[in-house]
Structure 1
Amino acid sequence: MFGITDPAIWSGYLLALGLTLACIVYGLLNWNKGTEAERGGS
Structure 2
Amino acid sequence: MFGIDDPGIWLAYLLAFACVIFAIWFGVRNWNKDENDSINSKNPNK
Following superposition, which runs of at least 4 residues in structure 1 exceed 4 angstroms of deviation?
none
Q: What percentage of residue pairs aligned between the two structures are identical?
A: 46
**TM-score, normalised by the number of residues in structure 2:** 0.73
Higher helix share: 2
| CA-based RMSD | 1.8
Paired residues in the alignment total: 39
**TM-score, normalised by the number of residues in structure 1:** 0.79
TM superposition shift of 1:35: 1.3
**Match in the other structure for 1:33:** 33
TM superposition shift of 1:4: 0.3
Q: Structure 1: where are the runs of 5+ without partners?
A: none
Q: Structure 2: where are the runs of 5+ without partners?
A: none
